[in-house]
Amino acid sequence: MKRVLSDIIGVLCIGVGLLLFPLPIPLGAIFIAFGCAVLIFTEKQVRDVVRELREKSKKVDKVTHWAQKHLPKEFSEKLKETEPKGDR
């Protein structure tokens, strides 16, 4: 039940973020980042997709690495699982 609720919250945050993204205030980006963090924490498939994105894009890897240093320990550990395979 907790996993389903977490998935719903993550998807809703991403949806709201996409709606707010065109606004001049970066509120949409905050919602998208929070939704992704929730989904990364609960879903292995999302971690695999993020790992692929990090392998393909140095910019995504750099931003994700920065977030990994600044997030709470629980989220940081899950985000560490998304590191490209060569970086482990």
- 35 and 50 fall within a common domain: no
Question: How many domains does the structure of the chain reveal?
Answer: 2
C-alpha 2/C-alpha 48 separation (Å) is 21
Q: Is the pLDDT at 86 greater than 80, yes or no? A: no
pLDDT of residue 87: 57
What is the rounded average pLDDT of the residues 25-46? 86
What is the rounded average pLDDT of the residues 32-48? 88
- 82 and 68 fall within a common domain: yes
Q: Which of 86, 81, 84 minimizes the C-alpha distance to 37? A: 81
- 61 and 77 fall within a common domain: yes
Per-residue model confidence as pLDDT tens digits over 71-83:
788 888 888 888 9
Average model confidence (pLDDT) for the chain?
Answer: 86
- 33 and 14 fall within a common domain: yes
Structural domain of residue 20, as residue ranges?
1-42
Which amino acid is it at 41? F
- 37 and 52 fall within a common domain: no
pLDDT of residue 12: 95
∠ Cα 55 12 40 (to 5°) = 30
- 27 and 58 fall within a common domain: no
